[in-house]
Amino acid sequence: MSAPAPSMFTPAAKAMAQKLGLTMGRANLEEFADTLMELAEADPDIVAVTSDSRGSGKLAPFGKELPKQIVEVGIAEQNLVGIAAGLAACGKKPFAVSPGCFLTARSLEQIKNDICYSDVPAALVGISSGVSYGALGTTHHSLHDLAVLRAINNLTITVPADNFETREAIRAAALATRPVFVRFGKAAMYGLHRPDTQFEIGKAITVHEGTDIAIIATGETVIHALLAAGELESQGISCRVLSVHTIKPLDAEAILRTGRECGAIITVEEHLVHGGLGEACASTLLQGGEAKPFRIVGIPDEETVTGAQADIFRHYGISMEGLTSTALDLLQRA
C-alpha cells in the first residue's frame, strides 16, 4: 500500500474554503477531456493528437467514441507537434496533448517554427504541468514552459485555474484561428467563479476585491491566493485576487489598475520565478510607472525539493498559510 497523497489544503484552509462558499470540483484534466469530446462530436475537424498520452490525457473514452478523430504518434513529441502542424495546415483543428514537461521542451522548435511561425491554428495542451508529477522529479516538471513560450511570437498562452476556466479555455482554443497553448494539472480543483462570470481570452478575472494588497495569480495557484485573501480579511486586511488565466496576451490594463489601486502586490505561479507571470507583471507595472512593494512567489531557481505536488507547494509557500505570511511580511505587519 502506498501512502495516501498529502492534501493540498490544511484543515484551516479547508475551513476557509467552506467559509468562502467554495465547492470542490474535479481535475481540470477531466474537464478538458470531456470538453474536447463534446466539441469534437460537433466538429469532425477536431483531432486529438497523442504521444502515448491518451491515458494520461484522459482521452481513452475519446479514442473509443471518435476513433477517426484521434491520431497516436507514439512516444515522439517532435513528431507530435510536426504532425499537428501539418493537420492544421490542411484544415484540421488538432489538439496536441502531451505532458507539459515534454511538449514544451522536446518539441520546442516545432512549436516555434511549425506552429507559431507558420501560423497554423493548432492547440497545444500541456497536461500534468508545473509540478503535477511531484516526486517524479525535474524530468517531469514543467517550470520553464511559460518563460520559453512567452518568448515566442504568435502564441496565446492560457493557464486555467478551475473547471470553468478550463472549459472556457478549451472552447476558445477550438475557435481560435491562431496557435494556442493551454496548461493545467491533474489534481481536483475548487470552483472559483460565480455562474455568471464572463471568460474572455486576455482578460483577467477578479475573484476577490480588496485594496490593501493584491495577489495576482495564475492556474492552480489561484485557489491558494483566494484562501489567503480570506485569511487576510479575517485579520482586517483587504486583499484583491486576480486570476490571470491568459499569460499572453497579458491583461496589462487590469495589472496596472491593480498596481494603482492596491498598496502592495504579490504574484504567484506554479512555475520558476524567472520568466513567468511574476516577471511579466513586474515589467508591466514598472514600465507603466507603478512601483509598489512587490514579491514574486513561485518555484525558486534551485533543484526542486522532492515531494508530492502538495509538499512542493507548501515548501515554497504556495498555500493559504504561506501567501498570508508573505503578504504580512510585504506589508511589514508580520
Partner 1 sequence: MTNAELELKAIQLRKRLLKVIVDAGAGHTGGGLSCLDILNVLYNRVLRVSPETVADPHRDRYVQSKGHCVEALYTVLSDRGYFPEADLETVCHYQSHYVGHPTRQIPGIEMNTGALGHGLPICVGMALASKMDDAPYRVFTMLGDGELAEGSNWEAGLAASHYQLDNLIAILDYNTLQITGHTRDVMSTEPVAEKWRAFGWNVREVNGHDYAELTAAMADPAVPGQPTFIIAHTIKGKGVSFMENVARWHHGVPSEREFEQAIAELEHREVAS
Q: Which is nearer to partner 1, 96 or 265 (CB)?
A: 96
33 binds partner 1 (CB under 8 A): no
47 binds partner 1 (CB under 8 A): yes
Q: Which is nearer to partner 1, 74 or 293 (CB)?
A: 74
> Cis bond leading into 121, ω under 30°?
no
Out of 50, 53, 104, 110, the only residue in the binding site for partner 1 (CB under 8 A) is 110
Tell me the closest approach of the beta carbon of residue 82 to partner 1, in angstroms. Answer: 3
Q: Pairing relation of β-strands 93-99 and 123-127? A: parallel
Tell me the closest approach of the beta carbon of residue 247 to partner 1, in angstroms. Answer: 24
Q: Which is nearer to partner 1, 88 or 327 (CB)?
A: 88
- Interface region with partner 1, contact rule CB under 8 A, candidates 21-29, 53-61, 105-113, 221-229: 105-113
- Interface region with partner 1, contact rule CB under 8 A, candidates 71-79, 182-190, 220-228, 261-269: 71-79
114 binds partner 1 (CB under 8 A): yes
108 binds partner 1 (CB under 8 A): no
119 binds partner 1 (CB under 8 A): yes
Q: Which is nearer to partner 1, 45 or 311 (CB)?
A: 45
| Number of residues this chain uses to bind partner 1 (CB under 8 A) | 28
User: What part of residues 73-92 is at the interface with partner 1 (CB under 8 A)?
Assistant: 73-74, 76, 78-79, 81-92
Contact 264, 226 (CB under 8 A): no
Tell me the closest approach of the beta carbon of residue 116 to partner 1, in angstroms. Answer: 9
Tell me the closest approach of the beta carbon of residue 62 to partner 1, in angstroms. Answer: 15
66 binds partner 1 (CB under 8 A): no
Q: Which is nearer to partner 1, 15 or 148 (CB)?
A: 148
Out of 20, 38, 117, 171, the only residue in the binding site for partner 1 (CB under 8 A) is 117
Residue that is written with C-alpha cell 494588497 in the block: 213
Residue that is written with C-alpha cell 470552483 in the block: 191
109 binds partner 1 (CB under 8 A): yes
SS (H, E, C) the chain: CCCCCCCCCCHHHHHHHHHCCCCEEEEHHHHHHHHHHHHHHHCCCEEEEECCCCCCCCCHHHHHHCHHHEEECCCCHHHHHHHHHHHHHCCCEEEEEEEHHHHCCCCHHHHHHHHHHCCCCCEEEEECCECCCHHHCHHHCECCHHHHHHCCCCCEEECCCCHHHHHHHHHHHHHCCCCEEEECCCCEEECCCCCCCCCCCCCCEEEECCCCEEEEECHHHHHHHHHHHHHHHHCCCCEEEEECCEEECCCHHHHHHHHHHCCCEEEEEEEECCCCHHHHHHHHHHHCCCCCCEEEEEECCCCCCCCCHHHHHHHCCCCHHHHHHHHHHHCCCC
17 binds partner 1 (CB under 8 A): no
Q: Which is nearer to partner 1, 82 or 130 (CB)?
A: 82
Residues within the interface to partner 1 (CB under 8 A): 47, 68, 71, 73-74, 76, 78-79, 81-92, 94, 109-110, 113-114, 117-119
